[in-house]
Amino acid sequence: MTGRLSAATLDSLPPEVRRPSYDRQALKPGVVHIGAGAFQRAHQAPIFDALAADGDLRWGVVGASLRSPAVHDALAPQDWLYSLVVEDDFERRASVIGVLKDIIVATQEPQRLAQVIATPEVQIVTVTVTEKGYKLDLSGTLIDDDPDVRADAATLQAPRTLPGHLAAGLKLRKERGLGPVTVISCDNITANGRKLQATVAQLARAHDPSLADFIDQCAFPNTMVDRIVPATTADDIERVSGELGLIDRATIRTEPFSQWVIEDRFAANRPEFERAGVQFTTDVAPWEEAKLRLLNGAHSAMAYLGGLAGISTVDRFVGGPERAFVELLWGELRPTLDPPPQLDLHDYCATLMRRFGNSALGHRLGQIAMDGSQKIPQRFGPAAIARLDQGEAVDSIALVIAAWMRWQEGFDDKGRRFEIDDPLASTIGGLLRGSSSASDKVGALLSLKAIFPDRLAADPRFAGLVVGYFDGLQRTGARATIQQFVLERAAASQGRITA
């Protein structure tokens, strides 16, 4: 290798690697992105890059990290360039994305993000900070007793939260007499745009009641995003760098599939997103619910059941007999959805299963298992309640919840210990340590109002199922529990057909 990926070394890349065909110096900083992690660089950034390649140079991206400087430190020596490798079991292609112009580290420059939001060129702010970054309770409002929320309610001089940074930026934008912007949440949260707008307005009122009127003029469209992006490993960096002939410490790997559905509601100019494959709709909710329950719900099921069983990746889970459980789970979740006419749920699930089987990605279940307390409520709570209210079976959902609870004990079926990566880890751990029997442990965790709605936690049928499956997971392990579950469902189905 002759050096590191940078503007000066682009010409030395292999000819099959696509690189920016536009003048990067002419890119206007029209987009601010908060949460410059792997997903944004695999999903939204390539879309803005494609628009630039098509001649629209208004949408260069200034990224911002609210916590770690790691992404900044990897990209700064590379002139904000990185390679995106798209692969499945049949093809592999690499390109260099050039649309990033800078990355702000908010902990090091607490005022700079607001300053950039309040510039005339910026028309769009996009967000990917994961569910926990929104500081929402189960009702979708700010967690009042969170120390970071309290700090931002007192002062916006050095914001600590996503809503705080947005409130500070929009406040400064209003003071400078600049127009409203469009803020696009790209996180897996139902009604993500509406909830983000409500939290920003809530914080803003603590500082400037008139700012709420300006926030009302801004647009916060709901969105649905979909692309599987595994965490980059040291082996990935070594392999891709070898293929490029240049060291790239910020490379990203992803799948060919990519989808972005946006509510058609903007406050100012917007790109011709359609040219890059973005879909627009008047109602994102059906798309969002289908993705949350079928894709993300299946991911959570595989993460906890597979993790307990010692299965390391998504493709290995669906490549074995455990695949049947995913189908059974979808059988419970599909009837709770009301899809738009363009979305055939059976075709959607078939596509998902093909994507899950992409062994080239090596999508690790341990990555998916992170922050479960923030994901479980949206992926399973409403569906479970809907089925209980209709008198329908919730066995598959209950088994996933039991597996999540069993995972919180911090060791798999072979006794191998692992660290629980979750914002509620200490609370959950304390509840488990204070309980002995399966019934006590399940009851203690179902009492967590931040995760389980009262309607679900108080339902004796649901609680009984979770207790039974939790006990089975403890006694016989995840593989045996899944096998028995699938056999029992098959026998029950055969009995209905015979009858």
In the chain, residues under CATH classification 3.40.50.720 are 7-281
pTM of the model: 0.91
Amino acid at 68: S
With a CB cutoff of 8 Å and minimum separation 6, the contacts of 88 are 255, 256, 358, 360, 361
For 312-366, the pLDDT digits (tens) are 999 999 999 999 999 999 999 999 999 988 899 999 999 999 999 999 999 999 9
pLDDT band at 270, cuts 50/70/90? very high
Chain centroid to Cα 185, Å, comes to 11
| Structure confidence at residue 483 (pLDDT) | 96
For 384-442, the pLDDT digits (tens) are 999 999 999 999 999 999 999 999 999 999 999 999 999 999 999 999 998 989 999 99
Residue 88 has pLDDT above 70, yes or no: yes
Q: Per-residue pLDDT averaged across 138-155, rounded? A: 89
Q: Per-residue pLDDT averaged across 266-290, rounded? A: 94
Residue 478 vs residue 206, higher pLDDT: 478
pLDDT band at 493, cuts 50/70/90? confident
In the chain, residues under CATH classification 1.10.1040.10 are 285-498
Q: State the fold for domain 7-281.
A: Rossmann fold (3.40.50)
Distances in Å between the alpha carbon of 109 and those of 64, 73, 157, 352?
Answer: 10, 14, 11, 41
Tokens at residue 70, please? 């790691």
Q: What angle do CA 102, 263, 199 make, to 5 degrees?
A: 65
**Residue % of the chain over a pLDDT of 90:** 92
Q: Per-residue pLDDT averaged across 225-243, rounded? A: 96
pLDDT band at 498, cuts 50/70/90? very low
> Class of 285-498 per CATH?
mainly alpha
For 105-134, the pLDDT digits (tens) are 999 999 999 999 999 999 999 999 999 999
